[in-house]
Amino acid sequence: MEKPIVFLSHSSQDKAPLAALQRILDERAAGSLEFFLSSDGESIRFGRNWVVRVSDALSRAQLMFIFLSPKSANSKWIHFEAGCAYARDVQVVPVCLSGMDLDRITPPLSLLQGFNLHSHEALGNIARTCNEQFDMRMNEVFSREDFDLINKELSDAAGSFFGEQTELITEIGMSATKGKGPLPDSNSIASLKEICIGAGEQPLVDTWESKHGYADTKIQTTRLELPGCIIKNEGTELSIRLSPERFHINAPLIDKWFEKEAFQCGFACRVQFSKQVTGEQNRLRVTSRLHRYGIKAIDASHDAYAFNGYAFHFYAGGGNISFHFNLVGKLADDRISIVLRNIFEAQVLWINTPDWLEMMQG
Q: Are residues 196 and 99 in the same domain?
A: no
Domain CATH number, residue 127: 3.40.50.10140
Could you say which of 128, 156, 184 is where a domain stops? 156
The reply to whether 170 and 309 lie within a common domain is yes
Q: Which domain holds residue 167?
A: 163-351
Q: Would you say residue 77 lies in a domain?
A: yes
Let me know whether 198 and 252 are in one domain. Answer: yes
Q: Are both 266 and 127 inside the same structural domain?
A: no
Q: 357 pLDDT exceeds 60? A: no
Q: Is residue 70 part of a domain?
A: yes
pLDDT band at 12 (very low <50, low <70, confident <90, very high): confident
What is the average per-residue pLDDT within 226-240? 89
Based on the structure, what is the number of domains in the chain?
2
In the listed set 115, 136, 156, which residue is the last one of a domain according to the structure?
156
The answer to whether residue 361 is domain-embedded is no
Instruction: Report the interhelical angle of 15-29 vs 124-134 (nearest 10°).
Output: 50
Residues 252, 332 contacting (CB under 8 angstroms): yes
Please count the residues of the chain.
362
Distances (CA, A) of 113 to 8, 35, 105, 136: 16, 20, 11, 21
Same domain, 151 and 76: yes
pLDDT tens column, 118-142: 888 999 999 999 999 999 999 999 9
pLDDT of the residue at 316: 67
- Predicted local distance difference test score (pLDDT) of residue 255: 92
Bridge partner residues of 222 (DSSP): 207, 233
- Same domain, yes or no, for 303 and 223? yes
- Residue 145 counted as domain residue: yes
Residue 360, in any domain of the structure: no
In contact, 250 and 228? CB cutoff 8 Å: yes
pTM, two decimals, is 0.58
Q: Decide which of 129, 156, 183 is a domain's last residue.
A: 156
- Write the CA distances from 162 to 33, 238, 316, 324, integer angstroms: 39, 24, 19, 15
Verify that 125 and 239 share a domain, yes or no: no
Average pLDDT estimate for 204-232: 85
Give backbone dihedrals phi and psi of 279, rounded to 5 degrees, phi first.
-145, 165
109 and 248 belong to one structural domain? no
The total of other beta-carbon atoms located within 10 Å of residue 24's CB is: 19
pLDDT higher than threshold 60 for residue 47: no
Q: What pLDDT sits at residue 165? A: 84
Residue 362 lies in a domain: no
Within a domain: 358: no
Q: Are residues 124 and 180 in the same domain?
A: no
Do residues 26 and 124 both lie within one domain? Answer: yes
Pair 152, 47 in one domain: yes
Residues with Cβ < 8 Å from 187, sequence gap 6 or more? none
Residue range 152-180: mean pLDDT, rounded: 74
3-state DSSP of the chain: CCCCEEEEECCHHHHHHHHHHHHHHHHHHCCCCEEECCCCCCCCCCCCCHHHHHHHHHHHEEEEEEEECCCCCCCHHHHHHHHHHHHCCCEEEEEECCCCCHHHCCCCHHHCCCEECCCCHHHHHHHHHHHHHHCCCCCCCCCHHHHHHHHHHHHHHCCCCCHHHHHHEEEEEEEEECCCCCCCCHHHHHHHHHHHHHCCCCCEEEEEEEEECCCCEEEEEEEEEECCEEEEEECCEEEEEECCCCHHHHHHHHHHHHHHHCCCCEEEEEEEECCCEEECCCHHHHHHHHHCCCCEEEEHHHCEEEECCEEEEEECCCCCCEEEEECCCCCCCHHHHHHHHHHHHCCCEEECCCCHHHHHHC
**Mean pLDDT confidence for 196-225:** 83
Does 329 map to a domain?
yes
Q: Can you tell me the distance from the alpha carbon of 225 to that of 236, in angstroms, rounded to the nearest whole number?
A: 18
Whether residues 307 and 332 fall in one domain: yes
Choose the weakest-confidence range: 15-24, 253-262, 315-324: 315-324
